[in-house]
A and B are shown apart, each in its own frame.
Chain A
C-alpha cells in the first residue's frame, strides 16, 4: 500500500453530486468494428469478450462527480460462466428430460407443464445473478459494488408475480413492477453503503389504468374498423388502421414507461441521498423510435450505440439530491462470484 499521508485530504464540499456520460459514437465505433470482425472470425465465440469491451467502455465513459466507473469483468469469466451453466445445468436438464420422457412416456405432458414454472423461476434467477456479477465487477473510486446473493428469492418472486400478473390480466402490473424493483434495488450495495428502495405502486395505478383502457379502446376500435374494411375490401383503410394502431400504442406506452421510470428511480435512496429522474414522455418516445429504427436498419449491429444512447439519456435526466458522506463508505467485503452470467446467456437475456 502506498503511503499518501502527505496528501491534502479533501473536504466534503457542498456541491451537488452529478453523473455524466462523456462517451461519443466516434469513440465507440472502432471497438464495435473490432468486436464484429473478431466475432465473425471465431464463429461467434468472441462475443463474450466483445460484450466485455463494450461494457468497459460504457463504464469508463460514465462519470460520477467527475470520476469514471470501472468495469473489472473479463470475457473469460463470461465464457467460463456460460460453459459451467451448460455443463452443470442445461445438459443435465436436457438429459434428465430425455431419460424421463423415454422411460415414462406418460409423464411427458406433466414434465412439459412443470417446465413452465421452472423456466420462469430460472429467468428470475438469471436476471438477478447477472446483476450480482455486474455489480461485483463495477468499481468507482476503487470501491466495489455488490448485489447480495439472493437470486433464489428473486426467482420465487418472479414465479409469484408472474402468476399474479396473469390472474389479474395485467392490471396489477404497477404493483408487481414496484415489488420486483424494490427487491432488486434493496439488495444493492456500494462498498459498505446500502441502497434503499421503497417505491409505492399507488401513484402508478391511475396512469396504468389510463394506458390499459386506452389500449383496449384502441384495439376495439381497430377491430371494428378493420373488420368493416375487410368486407368492403378497402385496403387503404386497413393499412391506415394498422399504422394508426401502431403509432398510438407506441405513444401511449412511451408515456406510461417514462412515468414508470421516473417513479421507480425517484424512489431510490442511497445513504441520505435521494434521486430524481425527470424524463419527458416525448424525449423518451423520440429516443425509443430512433433506437428501434437504428436496430432495424443495421440488423442489430447498432446495439452498442443504442445502449450508449440509453445510458446518456439516463445520465442527462437524473438529479442527485443531498450529500453523500464518502468517508463512511468502506470497501465491500464480498468480491463477488468467480464467473459470470452463464444463465442469462442460456436464456438469451444478456
Chain B
C-alpha cells in the first residue's frame, strides 16, 4: 500500500515529496531503501490530520512524515497500524514501559545511595580537618547558649568534680579532647556537638540520684564523640538534605527526614555500645544510666518531638534499649566490684555547680 510522505534529509530544511510503500516489515522508499519498523522512532503523531513522523535509529539525520489524505481514518493508516499500533501512536505501551524501566533504575540508584550513604558520610567526615569540626561545634554550642541566654556553669569544687568525671571516662582514640560543660537549664538532657564539645543540662544532674547516672550519660556522649557522630549529623543536615531537596523537591526532603531518623537510631545504638564498653573498662556500674533511661522513658513522646528539632541532641528511648542495658548488667557486672564514679562529696559539688556560680 502506497502513501505520500515528506522526506527531510537532515542536511537542508527543505523536504522532498515521496511515495512510500507500506510493507509487512517496513517502509520502502522510492530509492529501494527500506526503513524497517523496528528501527523507526515515532517523533510525532497527530490526532488531527493523522500524520506520523519518524526518524530512523540507523541514521542520525533524516526524518519522514507520512501524510494521509483521508486523515486519521485513512485506509493506509489502518493498514500500517496492523503491523504495530506503536507506529501510529495509538498505543503508548512502548513509551510507558520505557518510563517504568527508568523509574526502576532511579529507585535502584536511590537504594544504592541509601546503602552506601553511611560510608560516604564517614568518608566526608574523615577528610574534614579537626579544627573545622571544633569550630562547627563551638558555633552550635554558642548558638545554644544564646538561645537559652545562659552560659556554662562554673564553681571551683564543681569544676573539679566534673573534670574528675571526664578524666575517669577518658578513652583512647578520640579525634579531639573532650570539652564537657554544664549549662544552667532545667531540661533533663545532654548533647554532643562536633569537635568533642559536650553540654550537660543542669536538669539532668539535679534530677539524677547518683554520680553513676551522670557518668553513664557522659560515657554515652563520649561514644558519640568517639564515632564523630555530631559531625556526621552536620553533614546530614547540610549536605544530604540540600542534595535531596535540590534533586527531588519537597517530597525528597520528607524522605530525608525519615532517613535521618532511622539513621540516628543506629548512631544511638553505637553510642550505647561504646558507653557500655567504657563503663565496664572503668569499672563503673551501668545501673546508673539504666536508672536514668527508665526514669526518662515515660517522657518518650516529648523526646520524639525534640528529636525532630535536633536529631543529635536527644536520645530515642525504648524498651529495647533498657533491655540491652539490663542484660549487660546481668551478664557482665558482679555485685560489689564496681566503683563509684565520684565520692559523695564530689557528687554534691557537681550537683551544685550552677548554684554556686550564680552567687
Residues of A with Cβ closer than 8 Å to B?
1-10, 12, 22, 24, 27, 30, 34, 38-47, 49, 53, 59-61, 63, 66-70, 75, 79, 82-83, 86, 90-91, 94, 102, 140-143, 190-191, 193, 324, 326-331, 345-346
Contact = CB atoms under 8 A, between A and B. Distances in A.
Nearest to B103: A38
B134 to A, nearest CB: 11
Interface string B1-29: 00000111111111111100000000001
Nearest to B254: A43
Contacts of A79: 247
A142 B9 contact: yes
Contacts of B61: 1, 142, 331
A68 B43 contact: yes
B351 to A, nearest CB: 36
B59 to A, nearest CB: 6
Contact of A34 (B10, B13, B46, B99): B99
A7 B5 CA distance: 10
Contacts of A34: 96, 99
B102 interface: yes
B249 interface: yes
Given A63-B46, A102-B135, A141-B15, A2 B103 contact: no
Contacts of B45: 60
Contacts of B264: none
Given A30-B92, A44-B249, A53-B99, A2 B31 contact: yes
Contact of B251 (A5, A39, A59, A345): A39
B144 interface: no
Nearest to B244: A43
B53 A67 contact: yes
A2 B33 contact: yes
Nearest to A5: B31
A30 B139 CA distance: 51
Contact of A42 (B18, B29, B106): B106
Nearest to A38: B103
Given A45-B106, A46-B103, A346-B246, A3 B44 contact: no
A66 B11 CA distance: 19
Contacts of A63: 46
A10 B44 contact: no
A69 B293 CA distance: 67
A264 to B, nearest CB: 25
B248 interface: yes
A82 B247 contact: yes
A329 B92 CA distance: 34
A326 B248 contact: no
A43 B46 contact: no
B62 interface: yes
Contacts of A59: 44
B55 interface: yes
A4 to B, nearest CB: 5
B324 interface: no
Contact of A4 (B30, B96, B239, B252): B30
Nearest to A9: B16
Contacts of B239: 91
A141 B248 contact: no
Nearest to A143: B13
8 contacts: A7-B16, A22-B46, A22-B48, A39-B251, A43-B251, A43-B254, A63-B46, A331-B11
Nearest to B139: A102
Contact of B252 (A27, A43, A60): A43
B46 A142 contact: no
Contacts of B249: 44, 47
A60 B95 CA distance: 14
B102 to A, nearest CB: 6
A328 B247 CA distance: 43
B242 interface: yes
A173 B55 CA distance: 44
Interface string B36-49: 00000001111111
B83 to A, nearest CB: 20
